[in-house]
């Protein structure tokens, strides 16, 4: 999760979040803060808070309530969503990289190499079915200030929605980091 005084970004899994994170840390105007696991703490600009890379709306509201703020105070909350099939294919190939931090039943299934078995048996971040709605709804309601950017139109939607919140002279192009090769 990354934020300044106006914008809150939620990193939905497998939606170019590493690229968006790097870009926002470099280009959001004003003081920027972010959460990340301690082993992924960035040395870039921004105030670091220990946290999860993939906070949901409920997680974010809990975080900010503790700091006398609300997710509803932001001009805009941004989340990127992706076609569900493409998301699962991307996750499968990502898990096949064998990263130690991703150890578990889903990675074991992916490493076995049978995509059909992986799809039939793997849960998505511990949820079966995947609970991506947690990034878009809080208490069953989508916040009025939430803007969903489609992964398939990421660069255009990102520039259109976030352009007014970026530092002067910010490069409008997003980096391509941590791509799954498939």
Tens digits of residue pLDDT in 65-115: 999 999 999 999 999 998 888 878 888 888 898 888 888 888 898 999 888
Of 14, 8, 12, residue with least CA distance to 34: 8
Q: Tokens in use for 178?
A: 């941590």
Span 2-30, pLDDT tens digits: 999 999 999 998 888 888 888 898 899 99
- Residue 144 scores a pLDDT above 90: yes
- 67 alpha-carbon distance from chain centroid: 21
Mean pLDDT over all residues of the chain?
A: 86
Give residue 49's pLDDT band: very low, low, confident or very high (50, 70, 90).
very high
Under a CB-based contact definition with an 8 Å cutoff, are residues 61 and 139 in contact? no
| pLDDT > 70: percent of the chain | 88
What is the reported pLDDT for 37? Answer: 85
- Residue 152 scores a pLDDT above 90: no
Q: What do you get for the CA distance between the two ends of the chain, in Å?
A: 27
**Torsion (CA) 71, 57, 52, 4 in degrees, nearest 10:** -30
The pTM (predicted TM-score) of the whole model is: 0.84
- Residue 181 scores a pLDDT above 80: no
Neighbours of 4 (CB within 10 A): 19
């Amino acid at each position: 999760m990354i934020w300044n005084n106006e914008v809150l970004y939620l990193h939905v899994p497998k939606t170019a979040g590493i690229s968006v994170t790097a870009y926002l840390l470099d280009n959001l105007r004003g003081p920027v803060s972010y959460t990340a696991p301690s082993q992924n703490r960035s040395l870039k600009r921004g105030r670091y808070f220990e946290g999860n890379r993939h906070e949901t709306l409920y997680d974010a509201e809990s975080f900010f309530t503790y700091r006398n703020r609300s997710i509803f105070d932001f001009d805009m909350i941004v989340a990127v969503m992706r076609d569900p099939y493409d998301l699962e294919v991307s996750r499968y190939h990502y898990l096949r990289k064998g990263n130690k931090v991703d150890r578990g039943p889903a990675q074991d299934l992916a490493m076995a190499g049978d995509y059909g078995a992986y799809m039939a048996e793997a849960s998505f971040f511990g949820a079966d079915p995947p609970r991506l709605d947690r990034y878009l709804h809080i208490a069953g309601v989508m916040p009025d200030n939430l803007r969903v950017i489609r992964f398939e139109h990421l660069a255009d939607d990102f520039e259109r929605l976030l352009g007014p919140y970026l530092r002067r002279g910010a490069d409008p192009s997003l980096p391509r980091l941590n791509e799954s090769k498939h």
